[in-house]
Amino acid sequence: SGRVFKPVVGNLCEGRMPHSVFGGITVNLLDGNGNVVKSTVTADDGTYKLGGVVPGTYTVQFVKPDGTA
């Protein structure tokens, strides 16, 4: 779980400092081979949760919505 923020410089990042939050961002959880294991979309407040995942090493991928810079 986490929250996606838009920092002052305008790039997507995950963090805890409140800037503008991003709703509608696709969040993919990738396994070691780059395969999507789980996927969700952030809520209006930028939060997301990827539950029910077995322990392991994963990468979190954020996909900007169409039309965003």
Per residue of the chain (69 residues), what is the pLDDT tens digit?
777 766 555 455 555 554 566 788 899 999 999 999 999 999 888 889 998 999 999 999 988 777 666
- Is this prediction's pTM over 0.75? no
Rounded-to-integer distance, Cα 50 and Cα 13, Å: 17
Helix (H) and strand (E) counts in the chain: 0, 7
Q: How close are the terminal C-alpha atoms of the chain, in Å? A: 24
Q: Please, how many CA atoms are within 13 Å of residue 64, restricted to the half-sphere of its CB?
A: 10
Residue 10's pLDDT is 46
Residue 30's SS3 state is strand
